[in-house]
């Protein structure tokens, strides 16, 4: 085989070597990089099912399946309407609902000082050292289980010295703590 016959073979081998080196360089450079995570916000469409928890001064408190785009008044109707002692002036019945939302319909007199509203709306500061389980339950994301834990802990372990004691005593998750941080206090 003379030199002119070997030239195409040499060129092909040289190109293969360059390609292999390029692939090896690319793989080596990206081996330690964390995989990128692309988050896509999945906005529900009007009419898609959601579940909402409605409690307080309603005929049938509970979790109800409604539709994205429904309003707080629709949840009230789903729960059989308000009880005679409900304070509907204290909540915004026109608020659009979100999945996993909690709505607390306060009783007349209970909303004094703004202690109950649609979850996520302004709720007055609750003293975690003196508030009842029902008052704590009105805070967004707390519910009956966490409010019972808080009351039991302060009875068993004494009053809270700081708001962060809720986390230190492992009573609520950090995400819930961040939701209610501006809505709780240690004093009057």
**Tens digits of per-residue pLDDT, 8-46?**
777 888 788 888 877 777 776 666 555 555 555 555 677
pLDDT at 169 over 90: yes
Asked if the structure places residue 12 within a domain, the reply is: no
Task: Provide CB contacts within 8 A for 57, sequence distance 6+.
Answer: 82, 83, 85, 86, 87, 105, 106, 107
How far is Cα 102 from Cα 85, in angstroms, rounded to an integer? 20
Q: For residue 153, give its domain range.
A: 125-188
Last residue of a domain, one of 116, 133, 158: 116
pLDDT confidence tier of residue 113, bands split at 50, 70 and 90: very low
pLDDT of 188 reads 59
The domain tally of the chain equals 2
What's residue 131's pLDDT?
A: 87
Mean pLDDT for the chain overall: 80
- For residues 52 and 112, membership in a common domain is answered with yes
Q: Is residue 29 part of a domain?
A: no
98 shares its domain with 162: no
> Is residue 133, in this structure, part of any structural domain at all?
yes
Residue 106 lies in a domain: yes
Mean pLDDT of 145-169: 92
Residue 146 to residue 133: CA distance in whole angstroms = 9
Q: Is the pLDDT of residue 159 over 50?
A: yes
User: Do 83 and 130 lie in a common domain?
Assistant: no
Q: Do 134 and 81 share a structural domain?
A: no
Would the pTM of this model clear 0.85, i.e. be above it? no
Last residue of a domain, one of 116, 136, 166: 116
Report residue 138's pLDDT band, with 50, 70 and 90 as the boundaries. Answer: confident
pLDDT (0 to 100) of residue 110: 65
Q: Taking the CB of residue 28, how many other CB atoms lie within 10 A of it?
A: 9
pLDDT of residue 164: 92
Same domain, 129 and 108: no
């Amino acid at each position: 085989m003379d030199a002119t016959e070997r030239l195409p073979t040499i060129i092909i081998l040289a190109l293969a070597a360059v390609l292999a080196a390029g692939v090896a360089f690319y793989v080596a450079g990206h081996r330690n990089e964390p995989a990128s995570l692309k988050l896509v916000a999945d906005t529900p469409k009007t009419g898609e099912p959601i579940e909402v928890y409605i409690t307080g001064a309603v005929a049938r408190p509970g979790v109800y399946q409604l539709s994205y785009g429904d309003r707080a008044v629709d949840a009230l109707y789903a729960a059989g309407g308000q009880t005679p002692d409900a304070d509907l002036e204290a909540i915004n019945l026109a608020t659009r609902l979100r999945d996993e939302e909690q709505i607390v319909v306060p009783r007349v007199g209970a909303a004094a000082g703004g202690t109950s509203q649609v979850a996520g709306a302004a709720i007055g500061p609750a003293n975690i050292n003196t508030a009842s389980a029902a008052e704590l339950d009105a805070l967004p994301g707390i519910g009956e289980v966490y409010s019972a834990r808080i009351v039991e802990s302060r009875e068993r372990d004494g009053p809270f010295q700081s708001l962060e004691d809720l986390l230190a005593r492992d009573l609520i998750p950090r995400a819930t703590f961040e939701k209610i941080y501006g809505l709780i206090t240690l004093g009057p």
